[in-house]
């Protein structure tokens, strides 16, 4: 089954809980019968800001990423989405605001430092080498080795096996892990990057516009892998300017416009239509649609 936009509905995990919006549900501890203490978010930013020279790229933005949830960051070009994820991924230190990891204040010295703490980022350009094989790209920078000292060598057979198993366990069907990365489709490359982050122990997976360059079908494939990563318990940050990609998979939605937050909504607190019209340009697009509609003759064009 597909939605109106062609994105497979099964990439989503159903809608809001029956009974509509309500207080956050806290599971009861079966041992004590008491409500279990809710875990802090894996990652949280409070009122972060960032300026570049005189340009305010981000001001007063707050959001959180929880285990087994997808936080969507939406906004038009220049909204500050990439700046926010660069803060989350340890590439930029925020000029103001707080960054909390597992509920405690955190500051990273580099993206590597953030990665060591389980925060993996898949950038738009993917940082992969097209002429290198899929399995070599998978282990780029983290090659498995056999032996010690002068006998140390790259465990090629082991690497191939791990990549095959990891891709299979995520349901990614790649004919041959020896083929050059560049021969994969855009959706397959994103999927390999997601499987790689999962394999290397990411707890938070940050994806910068993984579906924006893809057609409807390929975007659906990537959304499925995002759902898989979520179902394995990762917290996912999914950046997109497409509300039709975000809505089926998102648990919370942060809307950015020119560096400021238009609000953060839980799934139960917003409809797909509201999300679409809240997006920068939403009202303009509606006006444009009406304008373009005017010339249409009444009734079906092709009876
Ligand atoms: N390194 C930088 N130096 C100067 N300005 C920047 C830099 N990075 C981003 N900006 C500015 O910050 C604003 C937000 O950019 P960005 O976060 O890339 O938005 P988005 O990813 O939503 O398109 C833009 O006006 C952009 O020009
Ligand atoms: Mg961007």
Residue 7 burial (10 A CB sphere; 0-12, 13-18, 19+): buried
State how beta strands 70-74 and 252-257 pair.
parallel
The minimum-distance atom of ligand 1 relative to the CA of 86 is 17
Range 109-118 contact pairs with CB under 8 angstroms and sequence separation of 24 or more: 114/89, 114/90, 115/90, 115/200, 115/202, 118/201, 118/202, 118/203, 118/204
Distance CA(229)–CA(104), nearest Å, equals 24
Mutation pick for ligand 1 pocket among 54, 78, 258, 281 (CB with most ligand atoms within 8 Å): 78
What's the pLDDT band for 2 if we cut at 50, 70, 90?
Answer: very low
For the chain, percent of residues with pLDDT exceeding 70: 77
pLDDT at 111: 86
Counting Cα atoms < 13 Å in the Cβ hemisphere of 141 gives 8
- If you ran DSSP here, which 8-state letter would residue 24 be given? P
Highest mean pLDDT among 31-40, 124-133, 251-260: 251-260
Nearest ligand by distance to the CA of 54: 1
Distance CA(66)–CA(56), nearest Å, equals 28
Question: For the segment 196-225, what is each residue's pLDDT rounded down to a tens digit?
Answer: 888 888 999 999 988 887 878 888 888 988
Nearest ligand by distance to the CA of 212: 2
- If you ran DSSP here, which 8-state letter would residue 256 be given? E
The CA 40 to ligand 1 mean position distance, Å, reads 30
User: pTM above 0.85?
Assistant: no
Ligand 1 and 78: CB distance under 6 A: yes
What's the pLDDT band for 112 if we cut at 50, 70, 90?
Answer: confident
pLDDT at 284: 63
What integer best gives the mean pLDDT of the chain?
A: 81
pLDDT at residue 7 is higher than 80: no
The CA 280 to ligand 1 mean position distance, Å, reads 16
Nearest ligand by distance to the CA of 80: 1
- For the residues 16-44, what does the mean pLDDT come to? 57
CATH topology of domain 43-132+201-291: Rossmann fold (3.40.50)
The minimum-distance atom of ligand 1 relative to the CA of 57 is 12
pLDDT at residue 289 is higher than 80: no
Ligand 1 and 260: CB distance under 6 A: no
């Amino acid at each position: 089954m597909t939605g109106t936009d062609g994105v497979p509905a099964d990439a989503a995990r159903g809608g809001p809980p029956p009974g509509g919006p309500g207080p956050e549900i806290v599971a009861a501890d079966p041992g004590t019968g008491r409500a279990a203490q809710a875990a802090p978010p894996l990652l949280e930013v409070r009122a972060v800001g960032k300026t570049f020279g005189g340009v305010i790229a981000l001001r007063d933005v707050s959001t959180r990423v929880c285990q087994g949830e997808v936080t969507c960051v939406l906004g038009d070009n220049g909204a500050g989405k990439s700046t926010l994820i660069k803060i989350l991924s340890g590439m930029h230190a925020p000029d103001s605001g707080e960054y909390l990891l597992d509920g405690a204040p955190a500051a990273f010295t580099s993206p590597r430092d953030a990665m060591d703490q389980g925060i993996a980022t898949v950038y738009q350009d993917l940082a992969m080498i097209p002429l290198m094989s899929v399995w070599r790209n998978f282990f780029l920078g983290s090659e498995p080795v056999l032996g010690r000292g002068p006998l140390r060598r790259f465990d090629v057979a082991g690497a191939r096996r791990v990549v095959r198993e990891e891709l299979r366990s995520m349901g990614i069907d790649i004919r041959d892990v020896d083929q050059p990365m560049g021969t994969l489709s855009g959706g397959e490359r994103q999927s390999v990057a997601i499987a790689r982050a999962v394999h290397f122990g990411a707890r938070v997976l940050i994806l910068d516009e993984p579906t924006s360059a893809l057609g409807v079908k390929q975007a659906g494939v990537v959304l499925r892998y995002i759902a898989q990563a979520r179902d394995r318990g990762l917290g996912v940050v999914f950046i997109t300017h497409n509300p039709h990609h975000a809505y089926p998979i998102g648990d919370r939605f942060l809307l950015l416009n020119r560096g400021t937050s238009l609000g953060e909504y839980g799934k139960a607190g917003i409809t797909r239509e509201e999300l679409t019209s809240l997006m920068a340009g939403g009202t303009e697009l509606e006006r444009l649609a009406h304008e373009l509609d005017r010339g249409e003759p009444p009734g079906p064009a092709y009876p």
